[in-house]
């Protein structure tokens, strides 16, 4: 039921957490008007209490349903008449209306996945551990009746008990989850285009988002091609802009994937399909040092924006065991790489020297200050050269004939932390591979908040692998460890 106050505005005070479903396209128009009134969509998001404008975009697209309190704020901004607002409200849903529906679907899926035996075992063990009504008569019907909230409470306690009850089953389920989840992801627009190209060219024996296991876990690959029911080729694809840190991160990921496949005794050709350049305010080109690592590892780069047909020619050559075609592609790409190095090297070095002149930001100044406080003599930004390019690090010190390189990143939340971890891991990987094999690399992650870090994240594992010391959450006392590096 929709209630009204004396001024004719919907009385939402008692149902602030309920959700308002509008008739088709009305909410879109409402947000459009509100955005124009306050200035733009970003300002509107701030006024509604959202940290990002993406929530507003989801409202406009119908991907999320606004709460009554949000509708109340929008109504005040737009100054809309009561009658029009009521006419365009389809329904008001109760708070947490989704729990019953999601719980029903989740219960059915869980039951089908693990079977009734799972609940029988769990029921007995949980009743031994907890004397609580939630853990009596667990099963498919209980899930249907109580929904997602019941499932969440049960899963929370069950998760703590599973290692004790049957660790092997938990390990197995974890692997299955790591395999099935990525395989169910929808292909990206780029992947769909490449799939269509494959099929038009008669290449049909491939799978998208195929998971492969090596006994320790699963890894998901964009395209896996088969020949006589055996894996014959693996292709990773990306449409990210060819910015240095982004491409270096992708190269590190595919390099780690190659190591993973070796443990599974899979030795097949690998290719990385991406765009070599992009027109922006200036022309952005992929970093040559990252491309060089691909060539060193016999991972063939395919520049989709340069000549898309080369991709199909290469794939057909590999699948048909046409060694002449494969060798011809390798010869052409290596010749192109040498020519590109000659053309771009002066520009790369000039751009790197320009970075040395950039004033230190707040985080870099903090790092410099902390190094001095701990008795070191920081040299400031440092430029490393190799025949494959140039790279600048935020700071460095010389200690016991060791060159210690520092990179500092500001992190605001967990998402930015994971991105920073991958970027730094990739940078240190490239430095140690091409610029200074003996360098010691220190990652400094500066944050105003105490961010809880999960060491199971692959980005963090990579950072731990390629850095010598990680200073996080402003724990600069770790600088004392430099004496042991």
The reply to whether 174 falls in a domain is no
- Residues 272 and 127 occupy one common structural domain: no
According to the model, what pLDDT value does residue 97 have? 61
Which domain CATH number covers 208? 3.40.1350.10
Nearest to 417 by CA among 387, 442, 452: 452
Question: Is 238 inside a domain boundary?
Answer: yes
DSSP letter for 134, please.
Answer: G
Of 93, 113, 137, the residue at which a domain comes to its end is 93
- pLDDT tier at 180, thresholds 50, 70, 90: low
Please give the distance of CA 425 from its chain centroid, rounded to a whole number.
Answer: 15
- Residues 6 or more apart whose CB falls under 8 angstroms from that of 283 comprise 277
Same domain, 312 and 453: no
Lowest mean pLDDT among 168-182, 237-251, 292-306, 351-365: 168-182
- 164 vs 151: CA distance, rounded Å: 20
Q: Is residue 176 part of a domain?
A: no
Quick check: 330 and 337 in contact, CB under 8 A? no
Residue 190: inside a domain: yes
What is the pLDDT confidence band of residue 295, given thresholds at 50, 70 and 90? very high
Task: Specify whether the CB–CB gap between 289 and 430 falls below 8 A.
Answer: yes
Do 234 and 301 reside in the same domain of the chain?
Answer: yes
CATH code (residue 387): 3.40.91.80
The answer to whether residues 321 and 255 belong to one domain is: yes
Please state, for a pLDDT cut of 90, what percent of the chain lies above it: 25
DSSP secondary structure code for residue 468 in this structure: S
Q: What is the pLDDT of residues 165-178, one digit of tens each?
A: 444 444 444 444 44
Q: Is residue 372 part of a domain?
A: yes
DSSP 434: I
Boundary-marking domain end, from 343, 378, 402: 343
Higher pLDDT pick, 116 / 369:
369
pLDDT of 85 strictly over 80: no
The rounded distance, in Å, linking the Cα atoms of 314 and 303 is 12
Do 382 and 313 belong together in one domain? no
Q: Could you give the number of structural domains in the chain?
A: 4
Domain that holds residue 419: 362-484
pLDDT score of 163 more than 60: no
Determine which of 35-44, 98-107, 339-348 has the lowest per-residue pLDDT on average: 98-107
User: Does residue 335 share a domain with residue 195?
Assistant: yes
Percent over 70 (pLDDT), the chain: 74
Listed residue (431, 377, 430, 418) closest to 399, CA to CA: 377
Co-location of 217 and 104 in the same domain:
no
Q: Is 351 within the bounds of a domain?
A: no
- Find tokens 């409470």 and name the residue: 153
32-44 pLDDT tens trace: 888 888 888 888 8
Domain end position, chosen among 76, 93, 110: 93
- Containing 210, the helix (H) or strand (E) segment is strand 206-213
Provide the H-helix boundaries in 115-210. Answer: 116-129, 140-165, 167-183, 189-200
* Residues 111, 85 share a domain: no
E strands, 11-154, in order: 19-22, 89-93
Q: Summarize the confidence of residues 429-452 as an average pLDDT.
A: 86
Within a domain: 426: yes
CA distance 148 to 103: 4
SS3 content of the chain, % helix, strand, coil (to 5): 55, 20, 25
pLDDT of residue 10: 47
Pair 207, 274 in one domain:
yes
Same domain (yes/no): 17, 67: yes
Judge if 319 and 426 occupy the same domain.
Answer: no
Residue with tokens 């008449």: 81
Given a cut of 70, is residue 396 above it in pLDDT?
yes
Looking at the fold, whether 103 and 197 belong to one and the same domain comes out as: no
Phi and psi, residue 478, nearest 5°: -65, -15
Q: Is 384's pLDDT higher than 50?
A: yes
CA angle, residues 92, 95, 101, in degrees to nearest 5: 90
Determine the distance from the C-alpha atom of residue 277 to the mean position of all C-alpha atoms in its chain, rounded to a whole number: 22
- pTM of the complete model: 0.65
Paired with 210 in beta bridges are: 221
Match 């075992």 to its residue by tokens.
121
Does residue 448 sit within a domain? Answer: yes
Instruction: Name the least confident of 106-120, 158-172, 370-384, 467-481.
Output: 158-172
Residue 289 CA, chain-centre distance (Å), reads 23
């Amino acid at each position: 039921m929709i209630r009204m106050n004396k001024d004719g505005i919907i009385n939402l005070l008692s149902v602030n957490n309920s959700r308002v479903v509008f008739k088709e396209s009305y909410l879109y128009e409402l947000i459009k008007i509100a955005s124009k009134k306050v200035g733009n969509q970003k300002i509107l998001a701030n006024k509604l209490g959202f940290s990002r404008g993406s929530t507003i975009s989801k409202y406009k697209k119908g991907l999320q349903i606004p709460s009554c309190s949000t509708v109340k704020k929008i109504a005040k901004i737009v100054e809309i008449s009561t009658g029009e607002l009521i006419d365009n409200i389809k329904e008001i849903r109760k708070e947490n209306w989704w729990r019953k529906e999601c719980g029903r679907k989740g219960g059915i899926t869980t039951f089908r996945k693990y079977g009734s035996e799972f609940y029988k075992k769990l029921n007995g063990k949980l009743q031994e551990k907890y004397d609580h009504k939630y853990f009596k008569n667990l099963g498919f019907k209980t899930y249907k009746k109580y929904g997602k909230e019941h499932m969440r409470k049960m899963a929370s306690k069950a998760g703590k008990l599973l290692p004790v009850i049957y660790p092997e089953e938990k390990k197995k389920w974890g692997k299955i989850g790591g395999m099935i989840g990525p395989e169910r992801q929808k292909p990206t627009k780029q992947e769909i285009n490449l799939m269509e190209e494959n099929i038009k060219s008669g290449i049909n024996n491939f799978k998208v988002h195929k998971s492969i296991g090596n006994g320790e876990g699963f890894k998901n690959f964009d395209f896996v091609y088969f020949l006589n029911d055996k894996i014959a080729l693996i292709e990773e694809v990306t449409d990210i802009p060819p910015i240095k840190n982004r491409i270096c991160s992708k190269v590190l990921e595919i390099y780690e994937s190659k190591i993973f496949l070796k443990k599974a005794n899979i030795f097949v050709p690998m290719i990385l399909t991406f765009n070599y350049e992009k027109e922006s305010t200036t022309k952005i080109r992929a970093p040559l040092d990252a491309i060089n690592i691909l060539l060193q590892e016999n991972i063939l780069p395919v520049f989709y924006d340069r000549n898309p047909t080369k991709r199909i020619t290469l794939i057909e050559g590999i699948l048909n065991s046409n060694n002449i075609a494969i060798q011809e592609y390798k010869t052409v790409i290596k010749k192109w790489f040498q020519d590109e190095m000659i053309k771009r090297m002066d520009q790369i070095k000039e751009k790197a020297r320009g970075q040395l002149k950039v004033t230190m930001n707040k985080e870099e100044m903090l790092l410099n200050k902390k190094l001095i406080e701990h008795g070191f003599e920081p040299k400031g930004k440092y430029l490393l050269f190799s025949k494959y390019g140039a790279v600048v690090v935020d700071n460095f010190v010389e200690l016991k004939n060791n060159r210690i390189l520092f990179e500092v990143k500001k992190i605001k939340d967990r998402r930015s932390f994971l991105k920073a971890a991958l970027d730094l891991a990739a940078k240190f990987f490239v430095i140690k591979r091409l610029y200074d094999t003996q360098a010691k690399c220190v990652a400094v992650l500066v944050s105003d908040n105490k961010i809880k870090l999960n060491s199971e994240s692959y980005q963090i594992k990579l950072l731990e692998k390629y850095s010598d010391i990680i200073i996080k959450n402003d724990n600069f006392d770790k600088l004392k460890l430099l004496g042991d590096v």
